[in-house]
Chains A and B, each alone.
Chain A
Amino acid sequence: MKVVAGIDVGGTNTDAVLVRDGRIVERAKVPTTTDVRDGILAVLSRVKQDYGIERVHIGTTAFTNALVERQNLQTAAAIRVGSPVSESLPPMIDWPADLRRATDNLTFFVAGGREYDGRPIRPIDHAEITAVARTLTARGISQIAVTAVFGTSYPEDELQVAEWLRSENPALQVTLSHRIGRFGILERENATLLNAMLRPLAERTVAGFRAAVPSNLFISQNDGTAMRAESAAQLPIFTVASGPTNSLRGAGLLASLTEAIVIDVGGTTTDVGVLRGGYPQSAGLDLSIAGVRTNFRMPDLCSIGVGGGSLVDVASGAVGPQSVGFRIIEEALVFGGHQLTLTDVAVAAGRADIGNRALVRHLDPKTIARVDDHLRVRLSRLLENYDRLDRQLPIILVGGGAPLVLPLLRELGRQVESPPDAAVANAYGAAMAQVGGEASLTFSSSVSRKDALAKAEAEAHRRAEAAGARPGTTRTVELEDAALTYLASEALKVHARAVGDIGEAGE
């Protein structure tokens, strides 16, 4: 019996599920270990006795944590290809000071890059690139981020620079911006540099995963798809938002809903995201990773300070944002503490059976009513953000605090699903990943809009297949165009993304 294993390596726990034909057949949880291999082997050994595992999909927060904590980051060099264009806006100009200090990255401006219509700004210069490679070698820097002006539309210069760098010193590892980001040179370069700084850690981490899972290993990406492990070792930046994405997708798949609001009630906050077509709706405004602005698509999450540990104001019935957090087992009334939390109110109201109910028997029913009123207003305002005129989306409720708000949501007349395996939604989301491909191209006015869209779409499908999608299963999930307004000639920028099922052969 062939199954797919989904593993979520979190900061605290490592969760695993085995999935056959879309159904969870086994689940396990072990504490996350310093050597990730041990945790993965332990969790796999718990679940896999009777099954042949076809593929393993791992979701990890290792790289996100490294960026946030400024740990395990390698010094890198930024090469901006386009001189003199963009010199007034040097690399890392908008980075937090502590990250700049922690990394000590170098910067080079070199000739090259293109105009919007593909004409070279200035030709790239072999001798100049060779000189840069020699400087890097002398300084002992091996991680390079190459970003060319209009590089997403015309990647040739970035590819040529990489080739020249490696021909001078084959040990140089080069991350190319057109492989990483979109339009917007600074944000794309930022993400490219972060990737370069993460690569040595990524290689070690993926080697650790491989020691546990030698073949058919895939790693979760930001967009809910998975990539082959060897790609993840080169492109760790694509994993930094995979945690919330896997949770949202996993919840949707568990509830068999592709259009839904996912509400995750935790100890301190309630996080809300939306599924459209089975994938998280992405945030539209600029997004930062660890204080660095990038232009990645990340799930659009909204948080309110309401959770199981939220403090309750008796007079007004207001809940949060202050919370006792993980100290709930000492500080909440039902555990013999002295703080009135949302959990205490829920226990008193008979909605949850946690701790000692006798300790909250004295709570005034009027207090409970006030808290309920408060929460009803907060929840309906939150939901209003996602509802459409013509219909309300169903809700998928997950997280430890789910029982605290479930009855209130039903009172609001909402359809609420609370799938039994919600606790492993993240690992399940990882297991159910498809593979994807993206293309962001610019077309001159000689190409019709219809042809431009078709070309970008075809390229996205081709890239999805190159990433491991089974031919025939790919479908377009994003297709957007924007004109370069103002220009007399109507240049068009098109972005396409396609996803497909992972091929039988795997790797």
Chain B
Amino acid sequence: MSFEIRRADLSALALGSGILGTGGGGNSYYGQLVAGQIMSDTSSVRVIDVTEMDAESYAISSAAIGAPLVCLEKPPSLRALQIGLDSVAAVLKGRVGAFVTAEIGGLQCMFPLMLAAQTGIPLLDGDGIGRAFPEIQMCTFMIYGTTPGLPLALSGDSGLLLDARAHGSETPRHDSPDEPSGIGVERRLRKICSDNGGLIYMTSTFDHKSLVRTLIRGTIGLALALGRAVESARGARKDPIAAIVETGQGRRFIGGKIIDVERRFRAGHDWGKVLLEGVDDDKGRIAEIAFKNEYLILRIGDEVALTVPDLITLVETETGNPVTTEILRPGLRVTVVGLPCSPLMKTTKALKAVGPKAFGYDLPYIGLHIPAQETNDV
């Protein structure tokens, strides 16, 4: 079940994780370049299933916390990641069995990959979101109570901000009983992040048992497969959209061009909606997609066609490149593809944290319905 990621695969991984990023997750280009610096032409990272991990060991998650725009001036720092790892690994007395990413969508998946490349320790095939979400309480690790991932370290370019060696595995209390688990943590982290240059790294720990329960499995492999499918469709001059739909077992909703983008910045997030007018076979149809960093609600005409936590992803029609909310602009020709989220994200408990209501939309969750194959009798 395990497989290898080589340097030559990084562009496919970045492309695929961008598609799973559903408009957010940051720009993975710098992450891809840094990972490429660490890997030589012959080295590779072994990606394993959680069942292949030593049950007595721990998986380390390395994630960036901060503003995606700050990453454009302060690119991924291997040094800061390494300092965080050293701090946590000291408490674990070396029992690090794997690295794991909290978020497959966008840039985040590159950080554990960098450390896996650097240390030779494998990377788990899976993540805690299966897409991208803006807040920490929105991952399965938090939803299903694996929090707060102790021992935990925070680090930045300047060094350690929170040393795992100082607090060990003692659980600090963050949350008030009324809030979904993790919101208090999120708020505190944001403050630390803002005070420390707008970008910090969190190194946290998960035991094998929790991961078996909460990991959304296979998403590194899925991102890689999506990226490879798009690259090979392009090479063969075939339709990259069809490749995404087939590989991701999703559905193509509408192809069109952007005619309007409305956005405002509020409470640290990029809110807005984008209006799309159908072209070619979709001529005459209108789609509206609401976003808060990520695309959340898809309306076709007056009807809600798909909502979070299922994936609403926009790609450039011609190239299959993911279109993030930052680069939306009128005239861009895009196709909207829906991809299924993990069953772990559809439970009542999960929908409370990641359903439309969690984002302030008074709508029920409308999931992905894939119509049966149309028969071609002619």
Which A residues lie at the B interface, using CB under 8 A?
Answer: 82, 84-90, 93-94, 115-117, 119, 121, 149-150, 183-186, 274, 281, 284-286, 300, 381, 384-386, 388-389, 449, 481-493
Contact A116 B198 (CB under 8 A): yes
* CB of B74 closer than 8 Å to a CB of A: yes
- CB < 8 Å neighbour of B33 from A93, A150, A274: A93
* CB of B53 closer than 8 Å to a CB of A: no
Give the residue name and chain of the B residue nearest to A484 (CB): B67
Give the residue name and chain of the A residue nearest to B70 (CB): A116
Give the residue name and chain of the A residue nearest to B267 (CB): A490
What separation, in Å, do the CA atoms of A94 and B11 have in the docked complex?
12
Contact B75 A185 (CB under 8 A): yes
Contact B72 A183 (CB under 8 A): yes
Smallest Cβ distance from A224 to chain B, in angstroms?
18
* CB of B66 closer than 8 Å to a CB of A: yes
Contact B194 A487 (CB under 8 A): yes
What separation, in Å, do the CA atoms of A285 and B197 have in the docked complex?
27
Contacts of B269 in A (CB 8 A): 485-486
Give the residue name and chain of the B residue nearest to A93 (CB): B33
Contacts A116-B198, A388-B259 given; does A486 touch B74 at CB 8 Å: no
Q: Can you list 10 A-B pairs, Cβ within 8 angstroms, ordered by A?
A: A88-B78, A88-B79, A385-B333, A482-B270, A482-B326, A483-B265, A484-B70, A484-B198, A485-B134, A486-B269
Contacts of B30 in A (CB 8 A): 89, 186
- CB < 8 Å neighbour of B67 from A184, A300, A389, A487: A487
Contacts A88-B79, A489-B194, A490-B265 given; does A385 touch B257 at CB 8 Å: yes
Smallest Cβ distance from A150 to chain B, in angstroms?
5
Contact A381 B280 (CB under 8 A): yes
Smallest Cβ distance from A180 to chain B, in angstroms?
15
- CB < 8 Å neighbour of B75 from A150, A186, A384, A489: A186
Contacts of B173 in A (CB 8 A): none
Contact A487 B193 (CB under 8 A): yes
* CB of B37 closer than 8 Å to a CB of A: yes
Contact B329 A284 (CB under 8 A): yes
User: What's the tally of chain B residues with a CB closer than 8 Å to chain A?
Assistant: 47
- CB < 8 Å neighbour of B69 from A482, A489, A490: A482
What separation, in Å, do the CA atoms of A274 and B332 have in the docked complex?
12
A90, A185, A284 — most chain B CB neighbours (10 Å): A284
* CB of B93 closer than 8 Å to a CB of A: no
* CB of B228 closer than 8 Å to a CB of A: no
* CB of B68 closer than 8 Å to a CB of A: yes
Contacts of A484 in B (CB 8 A): 67, 69-70, 198
Contact A88 B333 (CB under 8 A): no
Contacts of B177 in A (CB 8 A): none
A150, A185, A285, A487 — most chain B CB neighbours (10 Å): A487
What separation, in Å, do the CA atoms of A493 and B265 have in the docked complex?
11
Contact A86 B194 (CB under 8 A): no
Contact B198 A117 (CB under 8 A): yes
Contacts of B327 in A (CB 8 A): 284-285
Contact B265 A88 (CB under 8 A): no
Contact A85 B157 (CB under 8 A): yes
Contacts of A85 in B (CB 8 A): 74, 77, 157
Q: What is the 8 Å Cβ interface bit string for chain B, positions 39-71, against chain A (1 contact, 0 not)? A: 000000000000000000000000001111110
What separation, in Å, do the CA atoms of A117 and B190 have in the docked complex?
15
What separation, in Å, do the CA atoms of A336 and B29 have in the docked complex?
52
What separation, in Å, do the CA atoms of A284 and B332 have in the docked complex?
8
Contacts of B326 in A (CB 8 A): 482
Smallest Cβ distance from B227 to chain A, in angstroms?
17
What separation, in Å, do the CA atoms of A184 and B194 have in the docked complex?
19
Contact B73 A149 (CB under 8 A): yes
Contacts of A492 in B (CB 8 A): 265
Contact A86 B190 (CB under 8 A): no
Contacts of A449 in B (CB 8 A): 265
What separation, in Å, do the CA atoms of A30 and B166 have in the docked complex?
77
* CB of B76 closer than 8 Å to a CB of A: yes
- CB < 8 Å neighbour of A149 from B74, B134, B158, B293: B74
* CB of B301 closer than 8 Å to a CB of A: no
Contacts A88-B75, A89-B30, A300-B331 given; does A485 touch B157 at CB 8 Å: no
Contacts of B259 in A (CB 8 A): 388-389
Contact A94 B33 (CB under 8 A): yes
Contact B279 A88 (CB under 8 A): no
Contacts A285-B327, A300-B331 given; does A88 touch B197 at CB 8 Å: no
What separation, in Å, do the CA atoms of A386 and B323 have in the docked complex?
18
Smallest Cβ distance from A88 to chain B, in angstroms?
4
What separation, in Å, do the CA atoms of A473 and B72 have in the docked complex?
35
What separation, in Å, do the CA atoms of A89 and B78 have in the docked complex?
9
CB-CB nearest 3 A-B residue pairs: A483-B265, A115-B197, A484-B67
